[in-house]
């Protein structure tokens, strides 16, 4: 294992069968070498800039700033990336590692389909085989994304074990990885899972805060006061935080999906409501019942309804270096409508959880303070669901 042993305080680690351990340690070694290799960095940045459309804008939200009447609000526009979200940053990096390891077959899990689409996209670009594991419930709910992945040349497996959702898709992908490690690379979708994935995914997503820090410096000559990002598994948030963790004046705020409310069973607020456990190869916080079984999660946003959270977030919360708040479905939908009307941006419902917290926080701050909120993705995929939430039938 690498220097920190894959631990973030008491969280993280590598809780996997023996067969996988060797493969994960090989990946950790290859990643350590790649990090130091200028050729790897050049190829990574060439793809980020010329394929994924980086650097993403740091956009000053003038109308929202005036309307809310407090802190200056900036959005880090990951919604403008190719494939419409931050996920591509990580997938490009992991696919380059796969290439370096001589693997020709990418597998991945997906919930709503966003990570599956990003993986299928890069597999097409690299001429690799691609197989995506997706819960049967989700393949039924997200037929458009299933077809999109097929257009990109991927094979989509409908997973019928367990509750047939994201957590079951991750189990199936981990099993497939263990069964066929020779030619297969598992592209993990969030800053979760066994070591070295939480570190690798954080590093590939940290381009978000590397850019935002330089952009903020150019615009204001200062550090931002607050960073706000939504948290599912935690990849866009950890990438948004990474380059500020050692700047104590910058407050880091992660926004979880409270669903119908943190005190109901219909929630995905893992840090607020979760307990210590081991699942999907890592020690972290998970929503569990009395027996320690993983509880079903709920949120209006498919990208945030994961029953766990990446181990580095659990550690940042325990150390009080970051704080985590819950935003309900109702608040997120209102924010979806608000940012569309105020700024002309249709943002992903996941990202709108962060926007809703900006609406609460900005008016309590002074005009010389600044907030950077990450817009993790674009909201075209959510328009039909929001209409339905408001009782509008688009098929009439």
User: Contact positions toward ligand PLP, by CB under 6 A?
Assistant: 85, 87, 114, 190, 230-237, 303-304, 348, 350-351, 376-377
Shortest Cβ distance from residue 42 to ligand PLP (Å)?
26
Shortest Cβ distance from residue 143 to ligand PLP (Å)?
18
Q: In whole angstroms, what is the distance from residue 268 CA to residue 257 CA?
A: 5
Shortest Cβ distance from residue 20 to ligand PLP (Å)?
21
Shortest Cβ distance from residue 31 to ligand PLP (Å)?
19
β-bridge mates for residue 378, sequence order: 347
> Given the complex with ligand PLP, which of 351 and 359 has the nearer CB atom?
351
> Given the complex with ligand PLP, which of 13 and 233 has the nearer CB atom?
233
Shortest Cβ distance from residue 79 to ligand PLP (Å)?
7
Shortest Cβ distance from residue 85 to ligand PLP (Å)?
4
Angle 39-108-384 (CA atoms, 0-180°, nearest 5)?
115
**In terms of DSSP bridges, do strands 226-230 and 251-259 run parallel, antiparallel, or are they unpaired?**
parallel
Q: Among all residues, which ones are annotated catalytic?
A: 87, 109, 376
Sheet strand arrangement including 72-77:
58-60, 72-77, 370-375, 226-230, 251-259, 322-328
Shortest Cβ distance from residue 102 to ligand PLP (Å)?
28
Shortest Cβ distance from residue 69 to ligand PLP (Å)?
28
**In terms of DSSP bridges, do strands 184-186 and 275-279 run parallel, antiparallel, or are they unpaired?**
unpaired
Q: What is the 3-state secondary structure (H, E, C) of the chain?
A: CCCCCCEECCEECCCCCHHHHHHHHHHHHHHHHHHHCHHHHHHHHHHHHHCCCCCCCEEECHHHHHHHCCCEEEEEEHHHCCCCECHHHHHHHHHHHHHHCCCCEEEEEECCCHHHHHHHHHHHHHCCEEEEEEEHHHHHHCHHHHHHHHHCCCEEEEECCCCCCHHHHHHHHHHHHHHCCCCEEECCCCCCCCCCHHHHHHHHHCHHHHHHHHHHHHHHCCCCCEEEEECCCCHHHHHHHHHHCCCCCCEEEEEEEEECCCCCCCCCCHHHHCEEEEECCEEEEECECCCCCECCCCCCCCCCCCCECCHHHHHHHHCCCEEEEEEEHHHHHHHHHHHHHHHCCCECHHHHHHHHHHHHHHHHCCCCCEEEEEECEECHHHHHHHHHHCCCCCCC
> Given the complex with ligand PLP, which of 312 and 350 has the nearer CB atom?
350
> Given the complex with ligand PLP, which of 253 and 365 has the nearer CB atom?
253
> Given the complex with ligand PLP, which of 305 and 342 has the nearer CB atom?
305
Q: In whole angstroms, what is the distance from residue 209 CA to residue 26 CA?
A: 28
> Given the complex with ligand PLP, which of 114 and 359 has the nearer CB atom?
114
β-bridge mates for residue 279, sequence order: 282
Question: Minimal CB distance to ligand PLP: which residue?
Answer: 377
> Given the complex with ligand PLP, which of 181 and 234 has the nearer CB atom?
234
> Given the complex with ligand PLP, which of 235 and 328 has the nearer CB atom?
235
């Amino acid at each position: 294992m690498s220097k920190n042993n894959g631990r973030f305080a008491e969280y993280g680690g590598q809780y996997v069968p023996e067969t996988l351990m060797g493969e994960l340690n090989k990946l950790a070694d290859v990643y350590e070498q790649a990090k130091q290799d200028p050729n790897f960095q050049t190829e990574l940045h060439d793809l980020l800039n010329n394929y994924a459309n980086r650097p993403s804008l740091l956009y000053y939200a003038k109308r929202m700033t005036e309307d809310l009447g407090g802190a200056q609000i900036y959005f880090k526009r990951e919604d403008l990336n190719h494939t419409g979200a931050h996920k591509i940053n990580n997938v490009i990096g992991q696919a380059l590692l796969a290439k370096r390891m001589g693997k020709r077959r990418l597998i991945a899990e997906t919930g709503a389909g966003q990570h599956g689409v990003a993986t299928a996209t890069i597999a097409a670009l690299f001429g690799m085989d691609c197989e995506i594991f997706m819960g049967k419930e989700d393949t039924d709910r997200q037929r458009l994304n299933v077809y999109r992945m097929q257009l990109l040349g991927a094979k989509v497996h409908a997973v019928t074990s367990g509750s047939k959702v994201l957590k079951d898709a991750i189990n199936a992908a981990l099993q497939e990885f263990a069964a066929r490690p020779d030619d297969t690379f598992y592209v993990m979708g969030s800053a979760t899972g066994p070591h070295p994935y939480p570190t690798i995914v954080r590093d590939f997503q940290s381009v978000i805060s590397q850019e935002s820090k330089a952009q903020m410096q150019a615009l204001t000559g200062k550090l931002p006061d607050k960073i706000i990002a939504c948290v599912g598994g935690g990849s866009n948030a950890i990438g948004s935080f990474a380059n500020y963790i050692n700047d104590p004046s910058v407050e880091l705020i992660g926004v979880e999906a409270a669903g119908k409310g943190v005190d109901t069973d219909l929630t995905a607020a893992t840090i607020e409501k979760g307990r210590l456990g081991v699942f999907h190869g890592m020690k972290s916080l998970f929503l569990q019942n009395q027996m320690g079984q993983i509880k079903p999660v709920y949120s209006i946003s498919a990208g945030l309804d994961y029953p766990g959270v990446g181990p580095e977030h659990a550690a940042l919360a325990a150390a009080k270096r970051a704080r985590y708040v819950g935003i309900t479905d109702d608040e997120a939908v209102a924010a979806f409508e608000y940012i569309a009307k105020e700024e002309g941006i249709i943002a992903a419902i996941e990202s709108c959880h962060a926007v809703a917290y900006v609406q609460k926080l900005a008016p309590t701050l002074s005009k010389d303070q600044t907030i950077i909120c990450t817009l993790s993705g674009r909201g075209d995929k959510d328009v039909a669901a929001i209409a339905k939430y408001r009782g509008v039938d688009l098929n009439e």
